[in-house]
Amino acid sequence: MQLHNQTAAKPPRTERRRNLALREHFDTAQALLKPLLGNPASHNGAAFYKAMTKLQTTFPDMSGNEIEALVAAVVRSMQTRPASR
């Protein structure tokens, strides 16, 4: 039986994301939305509507789908990353 070389270099990761502009706006969106969505108890329809409205005002060139994706990414980030950030 032949063992594979475990020290072989891994191939570079391919980018899965299709809309890289969202990545550029993520940090700004997170800073804007943290006061609105920082508390998980505040995750309700009104808070998400306010978050999407705030991002639409800040980034008027983005589509509604892009705004929704950005809000979802910020919420997911707040749920999965430590609160110290």
3-state secondary structure 27-78: HHHHHHHHHHHCCHHHCCHHHHHHHHHHHHHHCCCCCHHHHHHHHHHHHHHH
- The pLDDT, as a whole number, for residue 80 is 84
Tell me: the pLDDT tens digits for 16-65?
666 677 888 999 999 999 998 888 887 888 899 999 999 999 999 999 99
CA distances from residue 12 to 5, 9, 15, 37, 49 in whole angstroms, order as listed: 17, 9, 9, 35, 38
Sketch the domain layout of the chain as residue ranges: 20-80
pLDDT range class, residue 4, cuts 50, 70, 90: low
